[in-house]
Amino acid sequence: MCGIVAYLGHREACPIILKGLHRLEYRGYDSAGVALLNGELNVFKKKGKVSDLEAYLKDKNVHANVGMGHTRWATHGEPNDVNAHPHYSTSERIAIIHNGIIENYAALKKHLEHQGHVFHSDTDTEVFVNLIEEIQKQNSCSLEEAVRLALHEVIGAYAIVVLSKDAPNQLIAARKGSPMVIGIGEGEFFVASDATPIIEYTNEVVYVNDYEIAVIRDGKLDIRSKEDVVQTPYIQKLELELDSIEKGGYEHFMLKEIFEQPRSILDSMRGRLELEAGHLNMGGIRAYEQKFVNAQRIIIVACGTSWHAGLVAEYLIEDLARIPVEVEYASEFRYRNPVITERDIVIAISQSGETADTLAAIELAKSKGATIFGVCNVVGSSIARATDAGAYTHAGPEIGVASTKAFTAQVTVLTLLAMIMGQKRGTITDTKLRELMVELNNIPAKVEKALELDLEIQAIAEIFKDVPNFLYLGRGYNFPVALEGALKLKEISYIHAEGYPAAEMKHGPIALIDENMPVVVIATKDSSYEKVVSNIQEVKARKGRIIAVVTEGDTVIPAMAEFVVEVPPTSEVLVPLVSVIPLQLLSYHIAVLRGCNVDQPRNLAKSVTVE
């Protein structure tokens, strides 16, 4: 949610910032802007994509070695030029970029207006920069001190960078609750929301912690706490490869990420599934093994696609490890009064590791004494750092806003976790465990095979691209897959879609079915197959247009469905990893055929850092 990037060094700042903003555009893309410090402090900003800002900058003097940029996902105020960041203070001597939300902005604004500050935008961010200016004036202090004091007054979340005309070779950054990483090069520094704008310049980074303020000045990085205590930065070496954040010949990141799944699934089990030796390992649970074995309950908290992975995990853990599982929307969990005890384990699932609702749910569960286990993709992310233990999904950077490879990597890691717990608790036989290990090991090849359906699915997408509604049905392990298929379609193609347990259809949604309603039924050969066949009959009797995802070799459903796509057979508990593939492809092709921006769908952002 909003991307920030800043540079101070010996190179031209503007091209570095713009390139960085393109990389961060997945975080928000309704407006963008830059501030450049070159004796003057100039702000340029535009509604629209980073490319619109680039076009606007064509005839401007953008020469500067210090600068910052922002790509916005609107919270306060509609997307327009004025609300775009950076924001000046009233005197236009200070400028700020901000990712987050200042909750007490209204009270601060009132106070600042009394002091003579003038506001042009509807944003909370403009309040922040004027607060800094006012504090500096009142206390006749340095910019750094003014920022520090301002942080004591704001309530909410922020990752900010501040530049001042009066401090020509200085950049101040601070964070609480929104991500921030600083890259350290040879006599140059980079600040960004994640490491993607930084990696081609340096692989040495410092992840800024909550309540820390970083001052970059005179070729040095100084990090202090909000109480002004000097902190020793922990410099990490990044392992991110540049290739992994580029499209690599694909038309969209989403398509690249869909096709990366055989590899990303393999990476998520690397070192964890050792077939030859017959071992399952997960370093992250080692210290908490007894807690897992004795857990009286597991609560899974997550949002969106990660929540769907959580639903798959509920089936897996109950099936294989016989521990009761509850799956909660993180946003709801937080705002009720859930019963949590010290014997509960909370599993938080998040691709970005920055989702504010999930973080808040973790904090609540922690305060009640539960053990928190994280399943995150982004290394060093806030959720990864807030949990007691965890396992990274190792899917590599996911840049398309619609989550695809992160989902299958999450399900893989959760499958391994359920298998390990089943083994430790003695709820799964050695034979069954061995069978599952062999089959899990085969999954990347089966996903590869499912990806061969691409052209077939494109043809189906042609036929259905203009319909207004879709229904997705599945049972058992395929129910979360139906939800995920529907979410993928609605978020990138703007077609209304609903996922339902197939049997639940007759309790309401069946009323929607007529000859215009496409119904995607995930009907692989598993324990509920016969029942799903009956559900298909019910749809057919009402003239619904059936698109069925079936197991290779099925002869029954092809005789009933209008369209059939065949996926390779696998064990019932692993089926989501394969059956979700055609649904990802279907939503992708429909969205492309409708002319939608699949990587940056309207109103969405990749990491949702507001509650």
Residues assigned a catalytic role: 2, 606
Evaluate whether 109 touches 122 at the Cβ level (below 8 Å): no
Q: Which of 610, 611, 605 is nearest to 72 (CA)?
A: 605
| Residue whose entry in the numeric block shows the structure tokens 């989702």 | 355
Closer to ligand F6R by CB, 191 or 608: give it.
608
The one-letter amino acid at 46: K
Per-residue three-class SS string for 523-574 = ECCCCCHHHHHHHHHHHHHCCCEEEEEEECCCCCHHHCCCEEEEECCCCHHH
Closer to ligand F6R by CB, 196 or 355: give it.
355
Least distance (Å) from ligand F6R to the CB of residue 97?
Answer: 22
Q: Which two tokens stand for residue 154?
A: 């704001």
Least distance (Å) from ligand F6R to the CB of residue 552?
Answer: 28
Closer to ligand F6R by CB, 179 or 568: give it.
179
Closer to ligand F6R by CB, 67 or 304: give it.
304
Taking CB atoms within 8 Å and a gap of at least 24, the contacts of 193-196 are: 193/2, 193/3, 193/4, 193/5, 193/24, 193/27, 193/99, 193/159, 194/24, 194/378, 195/238, 195/240, 196/20, 196/23, 196/24, 196/240, 196/245, 196/397
Q: Which of 494, 493, 472 is nearest to 547 (CA)?
A: 472
Closer to ligand F6R by CB, 31 or 607: give it.
607
Least distance (Å) from ligand F6R to the CB of residue 328?
Answer: 13
Residues in touch with ligand F6R (CB under 6 A): 303-306, 350-352, 355, 358, 402-403, 487, 491, 607-608
Least distance (Å) from ligand F6R to the CB of residue 224?
Answer: 30
Least distance (Å) from ligand F6R to the CB of residue 410?
Answer: 8
Least distance (Å) from ligand F6R to the CB of residue 403?
Answer: 4
The one-letter amino acid at 351: Q
Closer to ligand F6R by CB, 134 or 260: give it.
260
Evaluate whether 87 touches 23 at the Cβ level (below 8 Å): no
| DSSP β-bridge partners for residue 523 | 550
Closer to ligand F6R by CB, 33 or 499: give it.
499
Least distance (Å) from ligand F6R to the CB of residue 349?
Answer: 7
- Whole-number Å distance between alpha carbons of 566 and 478: 15
Strand order in the sheet with 297-302: 325-329, 297-302, 344-350, 371-376, 389-392
| Residue whose entry in the numeric block shows the structure tokens 């030029």 | 81
| DSSP β-bridge partners for residue 67 | 7, 36
Angle between helices 261-269 and 430-451 (to 10 degrees): 160
Least distance (Å) from ligand F6R to the CB of residue 192?
Answer: 17
Closer to ligand F6R by CB, 144 or 484: give it.
484
Strand order in the sheet with 189-192: 41-47, 31-37, 66-72, 3-8, 189-192, 181-184, 204-207, 236-237
Evaluate whether 108 touches 132 at the Cβ level (below 8 Å): no
- Whole-number Å distance between alpha carbons of 537 and 158: 53
Closer to ligand F6R by CB, 154 or 245: give it.
245
| DSSP β-bridge partners for residue 46 | 32
Least distance (Å) from ligand F6R to the CB of residue 501?
Answer: 20
Position closest to ligand F6R via CB: 304
Query: In angstroms, what CA-CA distances link 22 with 18, 95, 273?
Result: 6, 21, 37
